[in-house]
Structure 1
Amino acid sequence: MRRIEVGDAAGLADALVRNRAHMAHVEPWRSEVFYTEAGQAARIEALLAEYAAGRQASYVLVEAGSGAPVGTINLGSIVLGPLRSGGIGYWVDRAWHGRGLATAAVEEVCRIARDEIGLHRVEAGTLVDNLASQRVLAKAGFERYGLAPRYLHINGAWRDHILFQRILHDDAPL
């Protein structure tokens, strides 16, 4: 796992195209441009601008040998002050499922959120039927804290999400 770069655009576009049908049931509608190198480059540039503003930290999960992207994880909606919170979202290439990659990435982003950014908590949401993602979050120390009815527009409809959080520490904000 490393910080995302504009040079990842082609590899991410390839991985997203390869996983498009598999992820359709958990993803919002995306334009055709999203699945192109140019679309990914524009998206990454926007993510890097958000990083520079302190609102987002995005990472690419890469294959050890080739360095090819096999997923991403984002820590977004970063709020400091007395809240000190952020939300995570991630996806892993279907060929890499079941190897602990998502859990390891979630755990590392939580470490970064706590040790480098100084967040108190991190949250995530999953579709009610996304049991695999719920297992990832449970293994990474997240606890369920609620249900958000009609939370996100996914695969053509407003879908309920289960909300999870992980308290990273109880120190006072700096």
Structure 2
Amino acid sequence: MINGVEMRGVTIDDAAGLADTLARNRAYMAPFEPRRPEGFYTEAGQRERIEALLADRDAGRLLPFVLVAGDTPVGAINLGRIELGPFRSGGVGYWVDRERAGKGLATAALEEVCRIARDEVGLHRVEAGTLVDNVASQRVLAKAGFEQFGLAPRYLHINGAWRDHCMFQRLLHDDPPPAH
């Protein structure tokens, strides 16, 4: 827990709170997010999204977490694109409520997700991408031990256009993968 915020697995019961927090942060996050349909910002839209996240979790492809202060969601972090075998890699994405930004919450959540990725999932590396001009997120990644390893031109469709992303990774260990 950091500054009264807990990280835990997301549940269907988080739908209303996430809808409220995302709607409140819509303008703040717009420069960094894909354009979303209106339904995304409703309890029903979040319930549908969470059901999909939980299905991916159950299939071993994703670990979705919510950051909560009391009962109020104030952010989220997902470890997705989980690949085992010789690759043993995953990708991380996160966001934090505007009122909580710049207070170490995203860094602490990233560090915990990397611990889970290493100790519980057995991943070798975790990667993340940021818009080229998202200096705040790049600082978060650097503080959590990520290093930039490349540039991905027109990587994601963000806020209405294909945007270049700086690519980061954190190597978690150099142990060989388990034999199968």
TM-score, structure 1 as length reference: 0.98
Structure 1: tracts of 5 or more residues without a match: none
What one-letter code is carried by the residue in structure 2 that aligns with 1:36?
A: T
CA shift at 1:5, angstroms?
0.3
Q: 2:26 aligns with which of 20, 23, 40?
A: 20
Deviations 1:83-132 (A, max 9, x none): 00000000000000111000000000000000000000000000000000
Q: Name the CA distance, whole Å, in 2 between partners of 1:54 and 1:153.
A: 26
Q: 2:76 aligns with which of 66, 72, 76?
A: 72
- Aligned-partner SS, 1:171: coil
> What are the equivalent positions in structure 2 for 1:30-69 lying under 5 Å apart?
30-63=36-69, 66-69=70-73
CA shift at 1:67, angstroms?
2.2
What one-letter code is carried by the residue in structure 2 that aligns with 1:13?
A: A
- Identical amino acids, percent of aligned pairs: 74
- Aligned-partner SS, 1:99: coil
1:5 has 2:11 as partner: yes
CA RMSD of aligned residues (A): 0.5
TM-score, structure 2 as length reference: 0.95
Aligned to 1:93: 97
Q: 2:155 aligns with which of 126, 151, 155?
A: 151
CA shift at 1:165, angstroms?
0.2
Q: Name the CA distance, whole Å, in 2 between partners of 1:67 and 1:109.
A: 21
> What are the equivalent positions in structure 2 for 1:96-107 lying under 5 Å apart?
96-107=100-111
Q: Any runs of at least 4 consecutive aligned residues in structure 1 with deviations exceeding 2 A, and if so which?
A: none
Q: Name the CA distance, whole Å, in 1 between partners of 2:27 and 2:112.
A: 28
Q: Name the CA distance, whole Å, in 2 between partners of 1:156 and 1:51.
A: 29
Q: How many residues end up aligned between the 2 structures? A: 172
Structure 2: tracts of 5 or more residues without a match: 1-6
Q: Name the CA distance, whole Å, in 1 between partners of 2:56 and 2:39.
A: 21
What one-letter code is carried by the residue in structure 2 that aligns with 1:42?
A: E
